[in-house]
């Protein structure tokens, strides 16, 4: 019996930049062809027919190319303090979360001092007053600093003189952790999770992606610790999830990743930190405080890592935000791979404040960039956190997407969830509406970031990212075309996600991503 084919009838964007087709034919999960006008009668008669609602459009399945899936799911299992407008409200939310809590560590997330009436972190004494002997870990929204009470400080095993522990005039810890102290605290927080909690969190993260229309997610997971098993767990659970995941192991252990059979390594391995926590590495000091951030690797160590991974045929990805961190990433990749860089598609995550020389080298070496346009919506523009941290001139230089594209640099879009929500449509809108006009891109280019561009970053462009013949019939159905919709992509709602021709989320509710 011949295999039944399926016919999708309605507006279909086969690629982000081509005019929509009127129908799409696929079988065995693969696209056969698309066409304009009414489909041939014989196709309608012989195929399963899927008709899009009036005004709806199917686009290549939306991606999120930078997600911490475990952390995303854990947001549903912790205390959300994002709505707080003052320290008293932060403490009240934590106190409420402690009612009936009997775990080893209470986790609070999405803390952003920049949204409070008085911009500061809760102190150790304040947290002690509401939590007593229950350890409490309050993660800043950017994931690069935190606040803890005394019980958590002791549980983590920190000392007042440890790198990244903020101290008061007496030399005692204030409770605020940055840099390596925060990294240690975050690792301890992860280690205290049970396996069932981790699996539940991965599923919750995948459900968040589907609600946002993202059927393919690049999952950055794990850390440089031989006892850590997050990478292995993500691989075990991957086939159970309702989305496609591409695993980026966050480790420099090349042998471990090779043994797992994975062709990529690094993920969000930190070369520097973030603007919000003042740990992104800058060439000149921050505008609102002393210091110019930090680099977590020296050049020799980083170059050696990239060289070893490249020699094993692995794609390397590295987190770099500040101009000094970006220059180090480019310098060490170039030194490690020589003339072989273009084919390797090594990638830099974020790349928020590149200078002209770095962009020229990135273009020349074929380095891909995974960018997060929502960062500009949350923190960019006049009066935003970026202006406070960097000053007006540097603020207006952040995330230059137009320049990147014009230079021929391949870029794909992500959210850095849990930092900002998984939301490809919102990310598209943020790229089009960049607060600095010269960095804005066109709606079709923004759609490309979260489809074809993201797929390219993972060597996946022949499988997903378009709906050209031979590609998978994986698509996201939207209530309107984000390329031409009045109000932009941020006003468009998700109607469904199909992977290889099968509706992945049959009970998915429409979601407005504005």
Q: What is the pLDDT of residues 257-309, one digit of tens each?
A: 999 999 999 999 999 999 999 999 999 999 999 999 999 999 999 999 999 99
State residue 454's pLDDT score.
Answer: 98
Hey, how many other C-beta atoms are within 10 angstroms of the C-beta on 361? 20
**What's the CA gap between 471 and 60, in Å, rounded?**
10
Interacting residues of 420 by C-beta distance below 8 A, sequence separation 6+:
372, 374, 375, 378
According to the model, what pLDDT value does residue 3 have? 58
Longest dimension (CA), the chain: 83
**What is the SS3 assignment for 345?**
coil
CA angle 219/222/224 to nearest 5° reads 140
pLDDT, one tens digit per residue, over 158-168 is: 999 999 999 99
Q: List beta partners, residue 475.
A: 60, 498
Q: Is the pLDDT of residue 514 over 70?
A: no
Go through the domains of the chain in sequence order and give each one's CATH number: 79-191 (3.10.310.70), 195-463 (3.20.20.140)
Give burial (CB, 10 Å; 0-12/13-18/19+) of 22: middle
Read off the pLDDT of residues 61-101 as tens digits, 9 standing for 90 and up. 999 999 999 999 999 889 999 999 999 999 999 999 999 99
pLDDT of 188 > 50? The answer is yes
451 near 60, Cβ under 8 Å?
yes
Spatial distance between the Cα atoms of 64 and 112, rounded to a whole number of angstroms: 23
How many Å apart are CA 174 and CA 171, to the nearest integer?
9
Top pLDDT among 226 and 111 is at 111
Q: What's the rounded mean pLDDT across residues 500-510?
A: 69
Q: What is the pLDDT of residues 304-352, one digit of tens each?
A: 999 999 999 999 999 999 999 999 999 999 999 988 888 999 999 999 9
Q: Note whether 255 and 357 are within 8 A (CB).
A: no
Residue entry with tokens 């993500």: 234
Whose tokens are 């970026």? That residue is: 386
Rounded to 10°, the helix 356-365/323-337 angle is 30
Instruction: Give the mean model confidence (pLDDT) for residues 176-188.
Output: 94
The H-assigned helical ranges of 133-280 are 150-156, 179-191, 195-211, 230-237, 254-259
Alpha carbon 110 to its chain centroid, in Å, reads 15
Alpha helices of 222-312 — where are they, by DSSP H?
A: 230-237, 254-259, 299-311
Angle formed at CA 331 by CA 326 and CA 333, multiple of 5 degrees:
95
């Amino acid at each position: 019996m011949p295999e039944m084919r399926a016919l999708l009838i309605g507006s279909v964007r086969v690629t982000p930049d081509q005019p929509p087709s009127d129908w799409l034919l696929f079988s065995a999960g693969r696209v056969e062809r698309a066409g304009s006008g009414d489909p041939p009668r014989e196709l309608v008669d012989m195929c399963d027919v899927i008709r899009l609602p009036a005004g709806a459009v199917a686009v290549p399945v939306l991606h999120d190319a930078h997600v911490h899936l475990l952390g995303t799911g854990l947001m549903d299992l912790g205390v959300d303090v994002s709505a707080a407008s003052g320290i008293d409200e932060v403490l009240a939310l934590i106190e409420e979360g402690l009612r009936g809590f009997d775990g080893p560590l209470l986790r609070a997330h999405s803390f952003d001092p920049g949204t409070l009436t008085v911009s500061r972190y809760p102190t150790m004494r304040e947290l002690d007053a509401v939590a007593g002997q229950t350890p409490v870990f309050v993660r800043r929204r950017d994931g690069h600093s935190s606040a803890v009470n005394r019980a958590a400080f002791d549980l983590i095993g920190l000392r007042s003189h440890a790198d990244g522990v903020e101290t008061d005039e007496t030399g005692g810890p204030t409770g605020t952790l940055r840099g390596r102290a925060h990294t240690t605290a975050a690792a301890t927080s992860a280690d205290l999770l049970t396996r069932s909690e981790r699996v539940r969190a991965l599923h919750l993260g995948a459900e968040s992606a589907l609600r946002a229309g993202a059927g393919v997610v690049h999952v950055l997971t794990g850390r440089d610790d031989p006892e850590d098993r997050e990478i292995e767990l993500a691989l075990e659970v991957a086939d159970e999830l309702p989305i496609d995941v591409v695993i980026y192991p966050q480790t420099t252990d090349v042998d471990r990743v090779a043994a797992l059979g994975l062709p990529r390594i690094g993920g969000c391995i930190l070369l520097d930190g973030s603007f919000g926590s003042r740990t992104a590495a800058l060439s000149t000091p921050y505008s609102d405080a002393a210091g110019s951030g930090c680099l977590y690797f020296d050049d020799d160590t980083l170059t050696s890592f990239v060289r070893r991974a490249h020699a094993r045929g692995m794609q390397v990805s590295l987190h770099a935000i500040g101009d000094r961190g970006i220059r180090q990433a480019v310098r060490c990749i170039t030194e490690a791979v020589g003339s072989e860089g273009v084919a390797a598609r090594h990638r830099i995550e974020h790349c928020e404040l590149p200078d002209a020389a770095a962009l020229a080298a990135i273009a020349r070496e074929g380095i891909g960039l995974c960018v997060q346009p929502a960062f500009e919506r949350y923190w960019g523009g006049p009066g935003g956190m970026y202006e406070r941290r960097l000053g007006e001139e540097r603020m207006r230089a952040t995330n230059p997407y137009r320049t990147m594209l014009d230079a021929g640099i391949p870029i794909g879009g992500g959210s850095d969830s849990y930092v900002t929500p998984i939301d490809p449509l919102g990310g598209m809108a943020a790229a089009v509406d960049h607060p600095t006009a010269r960095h804005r891109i066109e709606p079709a280019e923004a759609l490309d970031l979260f489809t074809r561009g993201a797929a390219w970053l993972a060597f996946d462009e022949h499988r997903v990212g378009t709906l050209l013949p031979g590609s998978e019939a994986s698509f996201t159905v939207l209530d309107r075309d984000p390329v031409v919709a009045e109000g932009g992509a941020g006003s468009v709602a998700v109607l469904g996600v199909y992977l290889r021709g099968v509706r992945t989320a049959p009970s998915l509710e429409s979601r407005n991503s504005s």
